[in-house]
Amino acid sequence: MSDQLAQDAVRTTRADVLLASAGERGILCDYYSETAAEIYRDIMDDEGEDPAASSEAEVFASHIPAGSAPVLELAAGAGRLTFPLLDLGLEVTALELSAKMVATLRTRLAEAPAEVQARCTAVVGDMADFAFDEQFRAVIISPGTIAVLDDAGRAGLYASVRKHLAPGGQFLVGVGQQNPSKAEPLERFQDLTGESGRKYMLHHERWFPGDEEVHDITIYPADEAADPFLICTHRMRIPNMDRIVRECEAAGFDVTVQPFAGKLPEDVLLLKASLRGDS
């Protein structure tokens, strides 16, 4: 989990129904907030083996130019992608907004071999506004993560990357592509079971206003009598890839787009950006 994702809780259509039913037991929170952290960690395992993360790391690594400068990973969370990048022999600076997530990442690092520890620096910082005294041969954002930033946040991201990209460096971003005809229904329910054995229900809605794709998720206990009845929501706005390309070009980057490949869905693309005029 990355705290970069956290926002004010959205009253989704499903949350309204649940809050009315739960009465005083009902508590609304954002799925990526500290209030929902226990539920998030129960459902999502950021610290276990993840074949998809290893595949992502391999794809990113294949586009990182040779050199001695480190790689900067943004919104690193507890290290889902960080450790596969380290396994490939890279030197990584992992930036994450949540101090608790950085503490978790550092705890995991402390259990790694000394040689791996020496190649990783975990820091608290905002991917929309960061500052280091060094440059990086690549800046990496895992697929889907750029969608958590609004227009101003993305502008800040591009400006920060420009200041920190070494000559010849690459800005590498995984981006989900809009797909209104995707087989996935526009509204669905799904049963979830956490690592603890607790049961949850997921409600997911998506729609397509303008040049973005919007996803509303609502996660809540399968036990309707749970007290407290924690209703976790989140709204994700995914900008169209063409829009992100235009923004990057306006920020002074030369941009190419290609399929992400690896084990990710076909509608995930890889944006590669370099400083304009950089050879």
Assigned CATH topology for domain 52-178+240-275: Rossmann fold (3.40.50)
Burial of 121 (0-12, 13-18, 19+ CB in 10 A): middle
User: Mapping DSSP to helix (H, G, I), strand (E, B) and coil, where does residue 108 land?
Assistant: helix
Max Cα-Cα span within the chain:
62
Domains 13-46+181-238 and 52-178+240-275 share a fold: no
Residue 224: what pLDDT?
94
In CATH, the architecture of 13-46+181-238 is 2-Layer Sandwich (3.30)
Query: pLDDT for 113-152, tens place per residue?
Result: 999 999 999 999 999 999 999 999 999 999 888 988 889 9
Question: What's the gap between Cα 262 and its chain centre?
Answer: 17
* 85-99 mean pLDDT: 95
* 26-50 mean pLDDT: 79
Asked whether the whole model's pTM tops 0.85, one would answer: no
Q: What percent of the chain has pLDDT over 90?
A: 66
Strand ranges (E), 102-211? 120-124, 136-141, 165-176, 187-193, 199-207
Range with the poorest average pLDDT among 74-88, 97-111, 217-231: 97-111
Residue 2: what pLDDT?
46
Could you tell me the end-to-end alpha-carbon distance of the chain, in angstroms, rounded to an integer?
Answer: 36
For residue 194, name the pLDDT band (cuts at 50, 70, 90): very high
Residue 180 predicted with pLDDT over 60: no
Domain coordinates in residue numbering, the chain:
13-46+181-238, 52-178+240-275
Peptide bond preceding 228: is omega within 30 degrees of 0, i.e. cis? yes
